[in-house]
Amino acid sequence: MGASQVKKYKSNAMQDRDLSWLQFNARCQEEAVNPDNPLLERAKFSAIVSSNLDEFCQVRLPSLMEKAEEDSDGKALGGLSNKKVLKLALAEMNRQMENQYNIFASLKNELTQDGVNFFPGFSLTEKFALREKELFTKEILPYLKVENLSSFTPRQKQLYLFVKTTRPRGKDKGKAYYVVAIPTSLPRLYDLSAARNKKKPICLEDIVRHHVRSLFPKEQVEAAACFRLLRCQNYPLVETTEDSIVPAVRIMLSKRLEGSVTRLEIEDSMSLEMCRLLSEKLHVPRDVFFTAPGPLDLNKLLMGLYGSVKLPALKFVPAKPAAVLELMGDNPFGAIDKKDYLLFHPYHSFDPVVHLLEKAAEDPTVTSIKITLYRVSGTSPIVAA
């Protein structure tokens, strides 16, 4: 190809990969407001957007911060400086987070038409209050852990209730600050209604907030607001030999527990005094704060909503994946020897893959199975195989 035929690209013809990733997430967010999608499917899209933003804060944002600090004028792909890319990424993240709460408010309003009314969209009548107290006493209280602010180390993605109390008398008279960990093992939403066709969901943290005074019987609760943080999880796995993989994974995982804070989300009801205390305790600059006009961790909340509301009309009709029976016999390896198979998931069933691993695990001639797993669930059939 002659020089005259070589197309000259402008410097902005290429997009920085992190900004491009955020644009992809924005397209996911568009599906959350697409009226052609059923209502609960839109809620699910919004949950995915929140989950993606969490991952961006944990993996990609730390790298952007590091580049902007070490070489602020250095050029990223697309011709922008590292400092400019970071600025644009933070602005887009905040824009998407703000959109998330606008979408959440819209979803709540539409759900009321289908008999799903979120607290505080309904009053805590005596009946509902008794139901809430019973839930707190029997199902929630045994799992609560209270720590003094000065001695606690927060876990990433964990939801906390930050509590300010005063001691009106005695030698310990004065202010005190505590942190209540909201249990991750419990449902995020509880239904206070006993009616089959009506739901009155209330967030777990709201139930704890309403009964927080019972945790401090000798003190007066002045304020309580939730917060949640995300830490850097972008640590390379350093291993030199096959035998050093397990120790290297342990070292990498231990670093993740105390990674630098890349995002601190707080409820908009939190006072400036409590924000300042959190910032000092966690060594978090104010520019990584995000003040939310609604419940934190929309991913878990909306996925919990999707699973608990049994209204098929608000969801996509389930699609059954196509079976590949030739690979489900006693000798799937023999079937593969005869011809190649190309499976398209989720349109083809994933059962043949699990079946193949199960047969390989039982075969005495198989000495090892090596596979790269992006992520697995707690009940993964791959791990079980």
Q: What is the pLDDT of residue 12?
A: 57
65, amino acid identity: M
Kindly state whether residues 230 and 343 are assigned to the same domain.
no
Q: DSSP letters of 109-130?
A: HHHHTTTB--TTSS---HHHHH
pTM: 0.84
Label residue 16 by pLDDT band (50, 70, 90). Answer: confident
Q: Where do we find the tokens 């893959």? A: 353
Q: Longest Cα pair distance anywhere in the chain, in angstroms?
A: 89
Q: Is residue 316 a part of any domain in this protein?
A: no
Summarize the confidence of residues 294-315 as an average pLDDT. 94
**Domain match, 181 and 208 both:** yes
SS3 289: strand
What does the pLDDT look like over 256-297, one tens digit per residue? 777 888 899 999 999 999 999 999 888 888 778 899 999 999
Residue 251 domain flag: no
Please name which of 102, 112, 98, 61 lies closest in space to residue 82, comparing C-alpha atoms: 61
Which whole number is the average pLDDT over 178-198? 91
Same domain, 90 and 147: no
Where residue 214 sits, what CATH number does that domain have?
3.30.1840.10
Residues 78 and 14: beta-carbon distance below 8 Å: yes
Question: How, if at all, do strands 289-292 and 261-267 pair?
Answer: parallel
Instruction: Read off the CATH number of the domain in which 87 is found.
Output: 1.20.58.310
User: Counting Cβ atoms within 10 Å, is residue 230 exposed (0-12), middle (13-18) or buried (19+)?
Assistant: buried
Q: Of 63, 86, 108, which residue constitutes the final position of a domain?
A: 108
Q: Are residues 156 and 287 in the same domain?
A: yes
Backbone angles phi, psi at 263, to 5 degrees: -160, 130
Same domain flag for 279 and 187: yes
| Position 308 in a domain | no
Q: How far apart are CA 270 and CA 263, in angstroms?
A: 16
Residues 102 and 133 in one domain: no
Q: Is residue 179 part of a domain?
A: yes
Nearest of 298, 295, 278 to residue 286 by alpha carbon: 278
Same domain flag for 269 and 143 = yes
- Residue from 263, 207, 209 nearest 233 by CA: 263
Total number of domains constituting the chain: 3
Residue 239 inside a domain? The answer is: no
The mean pLDDT value for 241-265 works out to 80
What pLDDT does 1 receive?
47
For tokens 């739901």, what's the residue? 199
Residue 311 belongs to a domain:
no
Q: What is the pLDDT of residue 287?
A: 76
Asked if 315 contacts 40 with a C-beta cutoff of 8 angstroms, the reply is yes
pLDDT of residue 22: 95
| Nearest of 131, 270, 254, 284 to residue 201 by alpha carbon | 131
Tokens of 34: 């697409």
Q: Is the pLDDT of residue 224 over 80?
A: yes
Q: Could you give the C-alpha distances from 358 to 104, 333, 352, 373, in angstroms and in order?
A: 43, 12, 10, 16
- 108 Rama sector, left if φ>0, alpha if ψ -120 to 50, beta otherwise: alpha
Separation of alpha carbons 78 and 88, rounded Å: 13
Residues 68 and 91 in one domain: yes
Give, as one character, the DSSP assignment of residue 33: T
Mark whether 101 and 172 lie in a shared domain.
no
Helix orientation angle between 39-55 and 17-31, rounded to the nearest 10 degrees: 160
**379 and 293 part of one domain:** no
Contact indicator for 278, 266 with CB cutoff of 8 Å: yes
Given 61, 76, 108, the domain boundary residue is 108
Q: Is residue 6 included in any domain, yes or no?
A: no
Asked, for residue 148, whether it belongs to a domain, the answer is yes
Using CA atoms, how far residue 99 sits from 34, 93, 102, 241, in Å, is 14, 10, 5, 47
Contact 60, 18 (CB under 8 A): yes
pLDDT for residue 352? 94
Structure confidence by residue, pLDDT tens digits, 114-158: 999 999 988 899 999 999 999 999 999 999 999 999 888 888 889
Q: Are 139 and 90 within one domain?
A: no
Helices (H) then strands (E): counts for the chain: 12, 8
Show which of 108, 142, 176 is a domain's final residue: 108
Each residue's pLDDT tens digit, 61-82: 988 888 888 876 777 767 788 8
End-to-end CA distance of the chain: 53
Of 305, 275, 303, nearest in space to 290 by CA: 275
Specify whether 88 is located in the same domain as 146: no
58: domain range? 11-108
Would the pLDDT of 200 be above 90? yes
Whether the CB-CB separation of 239 and 252 falls below 8 Å is answered with: no
Between 68-77, 92-101, 145-154, 222-231, the lowest mean confidence (pLDDT) is in 68-77
Helical spans, DSSP H, in the chain:
17-31, 39-55, 61-70, 82-112, 126-135, 204-210, 245-257, 272-282, 298-308, 332-338, 351-362, 381-384
d(CA 353, CA 349): 9
Question: Is 258 in a helix, a strand, or coil?
Answer: coil
Say if residues 212 and 180 touch (Cβ distance below 8 Å): yes
Q: How confident is the model at residue 170 (pLDDT cuts 50, 70, 90)?
A: low
Compute the distance between CA of residue 192 and CA of residue 131 in angstroms, rounded to an integer: 6
